[in-house]
A and B are shown apart, each in its own frame.
Chain A
Amino acid sequence: MSMTASLALTVPELILSVGALLLLLVAAFGGDGFARAIGWGAVALFAAAGFALTGPAGNGGPGFDGLYIADSFAAFAKLLIYIAAAVSVAVAPGFFARTGGGYRAEYPVLILLSGVGMGMMVSAGDLLTLYVGLELQSLSAYVLASFLRRDTRSAEAGLKYFVLGALASGILLYGISLLYGFTGTTLFAGISDSLAKGMGTGQMFGMVFVFAGLAFKISAVPFHMWTPDVYEGAPTPVTAFFASAPKVAGMALLLRVAIEAMGSGTDAWRQIVVFAALASTILGAVAAIGQTSMKRLLAYSSINNVGFALFGLAAGSAEGVAATMTYMAVYIAMTLGSFICVLQMRDRDGQPVETIASLSGLSRSRPGLAAAFAIFMFSLAGIPPLFGFWPKFLVFDALVRAGFWPLAMVGIATSVIGAFYYLKIVKTIYFDDPAPTPFAPAASKLEGGLITLAALAVSPLGYLAIPLLDATSMAAARALF
Chain B
Amino acid sequence: MIQTIAFYLFAALVVASGTLTILARNPVHSVLWLILAFFNAAGLMILVGAEFIAMLLVIVYVGAVAVLFLFVVMMLDIDFAELRAGFAQYLPFGILLVLVLAAEMIFAIGAWKAGGIDMGSRIAPTPSEVPNIEAIGTLIYTRYLYIFEGAGLILLVALVGAIVLTHRTRGGVKAQNVTAQNMRRPEDAIRNVKPAVGQGVEL
Please, which residue of chain B has its CB at the minimum distance from the CB of A131? B147
Q: Indicate if A390 sits at the interface (CB-CB under 8 A).
A: no
CB-CB nearest in chain B for A126: B147
Q: In the complex, which residues of chain B have a beta carbon less than 8 angstroms from the beta carbon of A117?
A: 150, 153
Q: Does B145 contact A (CB under 8 A)?
A: yes
Within 8 A of B (CB), among A83-128: 104, 106, 109-110, 113, 116-117, 120, 126, 128
Tell me the bound Cα distance from A139 to B151 in angstroms.
12
0 or 1 for each of A158-187: is its CB under 8 Å from B? (1 = yes): 100000000000000000000011111111
Quick one: which of B151, B156, B165 contacts A146, CB cutoff 8 A?
Answer: B165
Which residues in A have their C-beta under 8 angstroms from that of B142? 3
Residue of B nearest to A113 (CB): B157
Chain A's closest residue to B123 (CB) is: A185
Kindly list chain B residues whose C-beta atoms are within 8 Å of the C-beta of A113.
153, 156-157, 160
- From B120, B146, B156, contact of A129 by CB (8 A): B146
Given contacts A129-B147, A132-B147, A147-B164, contact A139 B123 (CB under 8 A): no
Closest chain A CB from B39 CB (angstroms)? 31
Bound form: Cα–Cα A186–B123 in Å: 7
Contact of A400 with B by CB under 8 A: no
> Is there an interface contact between A110 and B150, defined as CB atoms closer than 8 Å?
no
Complex contacts, B145 vs chain A, CB 8 Å: 3, 64
Give the residues in chain B near A24, CB-CB below 8 Å. 160
User: A180 to chain B: which residues have CB within 8 Å?
Assistant: 120, 123
When C-beta atoms are compared, the residue in chain B nearest to A184 turns out to be B120
Q: Is A373 an interface residue (CB 8 A)?
A: no
Quick one: CB contact mask for B108-125 with A, threshold 8 Å, 1 for yes?
000000000001111100
A462 to chain B, nearest CB (A): 36
Q: Is the Cβ of B123 less than 8 Å from the Cβ of A133?
A: no
Nearest-neighbour CB distance to chain B for A250, whole angstroms, equals 17
Give CA–CA (A415, B121) in the complex, Å: 47
- In the bound complex, residues from chain B placing their C-beta under 8 Å from that of A143 are 157, 160-161, 164-165
* Cβ–Cβ contact B157 & A139, under 8 A: yes
For residue A335, CB closer than 8 A to chain B, the reply is: no
Q: How far is the CB of B149 from chain A (nearest CB, A)?
A: 8
- Within the complex, what minimum Cβ distance (angstroms) separates A154 from chain B? 10
Cross-chain contact B120 with A140 (CB below 8 angstroms): no
Please tell me if the beta carbons of B144 and A67 are within 8 angstroms of each other in the complex: yes
Kindly state the separation between the CA atoms of A449 and B142 in the bound complex, as whole angstroms. Answer: 47
Asked if A136 contacts B160 (CB within 8 A), the reply is no
Nearest Cβ on chain B to A118's Cβ, whole angstroms: 12
B85 to chain A, nearest CB (A): 34
How many residues of B are counted as interface, with CB atoms below 8 angstroms from the partner's CB atoms?
23
Tell me the minimal C-beta distance from B92 to chain A in angstroms.
32
- The answer, yes or no, to whether A326 is at the interface (CB within 8 Å) is no
Q: Does B22 contact A (CB under 8 A)?
A: no
Q: Judge whether A10 is part of the interface by a CB distance below 8 angstroms.
A: yes
The CA-CA distance from A180 to B123 in the complex, in Å, is 9
* Overall SS of chain B's interface: helix
Instruction: Answer yes or no: B158 CB below 8 A from chain A CBs.
Output: yes
* Closest chain A residue to B149, Cβ basis: A17
Q: Does B154 contact A (CB under 8 A)?
A: yes
B150 near A132 (CB under 8 angstroms)? yes
A147 / chain B contacts, CB cutoff of 8 Å: 164
A25 to chain B minimum Cβ distance, whole angstroms, is: 12
Instruction: Using A181-B120, A186-B123 as known contacts, say yes or no to A128 and B144 having CB atoms under 8 A apart.
Output: yes
**Contact of B143 with A by CB under 8 A:** yes
Mask: chain A, 126-152; 1 = CB below 8 Å from B; 0 = not: 101100110110011011001101000
Contact with A along B130-142 (1 / 0, CB 8 A): 0000000000001
Q: In chain B between 19 and 34, which residues have their CB closer than 8 angstroms to a CB of chain A?
A: none
A6 touches B153 (CB 8 A): no
B124, chain A: closest CB distance, angstroms: 9
CA distance A109 to B163 in the complex (A): 13
Contact, CB under 8 Å: A110 / B157: yes
Query: Are B164 and A110 closer than 8 Å at their CB atoms?
Result: yes
Q: Are A139 and B158 in contact (CB under 8 A)?
A: yes
Bitwise, A1-30 to B at CB < 8 A (1) or not (0) is 001001000100000010001001000000
- Which residues does chain B contribute within 8 Å of A149, judged by CB atoms? 164-165
Which residues of chain A come closer than 8 Å to B164, judged between CB atoms?
A: 104, 106, 110, 143, 147, 149
Q: Would you give the shortest CB distance from B182 to chain A, in whole angstroms?
A: 20
Q: Complex: how many Å from CA A205 to CA B153?
A: 31
A347 at the interface (CB under 8 A from B): no
Whether A110 lies near B123 (C-beta < 8 A) is: no
Cβ distance B91 to chain A, nearest Cβ, rounded Å? 34
Task: Find the B residue at minimum CB distance from A139.
Answer: B157
Which residues of A sit under 8 angstroms from B153, Cβ to Cβ? 17, 113, 116-117, 136
A116 — which chain B residues lie within 8 A by C-beta? 150, 153
A459 within 8 A of B: no
B147 near A128 with CB under 8 A, answer: yes
Tell me if A317 counts as interface (CB < 8 A to partner B): no
Flag if B157 contacts A140 (CB, 8 Å).
Answer: yes
Residue among A10, A64, A126, A132 making CB contact with B151, cutoff 8 Å? A132
How long is the Cα–Cα vector from A238 to B103 in the complex, in angstroms? 52
CB-based contact A129/B150 at 8 Å: yes
Contact of A136 among B122, B157, B165 (CB under 8 A): B157
- When chains A and B are docked, how far (Å) is the Cα of A113 from the Cα of B147? 14
Residue of B nearest to A136 (CB): B154
| A239–B123 CA distance with the chains assembled, in angstroms | 40
Is A190 close to B, CB under 8 A?
yes
What are 23 A-B interface contacts by the 8 Å CB criterion? A10-B146, A21-B156, A24-B160, A63-B146, A64-B145, A67-B144, A106-B163, A109-B160, A113-B157, A116-B153, A120-B150, A128-B147, A136-B153, A139-B154, A139-B158, A142-B161, A143-B164, A181-B120, A182-B119, A184-B120, A184-B123, A186-B123, A194-B120
If A146-B165, A184-B123 are given as contacts, then 15 extra A-B residue pairs at C-beta distance below 8 Å, sorted by A number, are A3-B145, A24-B160, A64-B143, A65-B143, A106-B160, A110-B161, A113-B157, A129-B147, A139-B154, A139-B157, A143-B160, A147-B164, A158-B165, A184-B119, A185-B123
Q: Rank and list the top 6 A-B pairs by shortest CB-CB distance, nearest first.
A: A184-B120, A143-B161, A132-B150, A184-B121, A64-B146, A185-B123
